[in-house]
Structure 1
Amino acid sequence: MTRQIQLALATFRPRRAIPGQTVLDPSVTRTRVRPGDLDIYRHVNNAVYLNMMDTGRSNLLADCGGMPLLNEKGWYPVVAASTVKYRRSLTLGQRVEITSRVMGWDPRIAYLEQVITTGGQLAARGIVAGRFLSKTGDRVPAPDVVALLGGPETSPELPEDVAAWARAMDVAHRG
Structure 2
Amino acid sequence: MTRQIRLALATFRPRKAVPGQTILDPSTTRTRVGPGDLDIYLHVNNAVYLNMMDTARSNLLADCGGMPHLNEKHWYPVVAASTVKYKRSLVLWEPVEITSGVVGWDERIVYLEQVVTTRGQLAARGLIAGRFLGKGGVRIPAQQIADLLAGPGMISPDLPDDVLAWARAVDVAHR
- Band of TM-score, shorter chain: over 0.9
Instruction: After TM superposition, give the deviation of residue 154 of structure 1 in Å.
Output: 1.6
CA distance in 2, matches of 1:30, 1:100: 11
CA distance in 1, matches of 2:7, 2:105: 24
What does 1:56-75 correspond to in 2, within 5 Å? 56-75=56-75
The one-letter code of the counterpart of 1:14 is P
What does 1:23-62 correspond to in 2, within 5 Å? 23-62=23-62
Instruction: After TM superposition, give the deviation of residue 136 of structure 1 in Å.
Output: 1.9
Q: Gaps spanning 5+ residues in structure 1: where?
A: none
The one-letter code of the counterpart of 1:159 is P
What does 1:39-118 correspond to in 2, within 5 Å? 39-118=39-118
The one-letter code of the counterpart of 2:132 is F
Encode CA deviations 1:118-161: one digit per residue, 9 max, x unaligned.
00000000000000000221000000001000155321001101
CA distance in 1, matches of 2:135, 2:128: 22
CA distance in 1, matches of 2:130, 2:137: 15
CA distance in 2, matches of 1:90, 1:170: 31
CA distance in 1, matches of 2:100, 2:138: 26
> What TM-score results when the alignment is normalised by the length of structure 2?
0.98
Count of residue correspondences: 174
Structure 2 residue 146 is the aligned partner of structure 1 residue 160:
no
CA distance in 2, matches of 1:167, 1:86: 21
Instruction: After TM superposition, give the deviation of residue 14 of structure 1 in Å.
Output: 0.2
Match in the other structure for 2:10: 10
Encode CA deviations 1:78-122: one digit per residue, 9 max, x unaligned.
000000000000000000000000000000000000000000000
Q: Gaps spanning 5+ residues in structure 2: where?
A: none
Match in the other structure for 1:171: 172
> Match of 1:136, SS?
helix
> Match of 1:20, SS?
coil
The one-letter code of the counterpart of 1:173 is H
Instruction: After TM superposition, give the deviation of residue 40 of structure 1 in Å.
Output: 0.3
Cα RMSD after superposing both structures = 0.7
CA distance in 1, matches of 2:150, 2:82: 25
CA distance in 1, matches of 2:135, 2:33: 34
> Match of 1:10, SS?
helix
Instruction: Detail structure 1 runs of 4+ shifted over 6 Å in the superposition.
Output: none
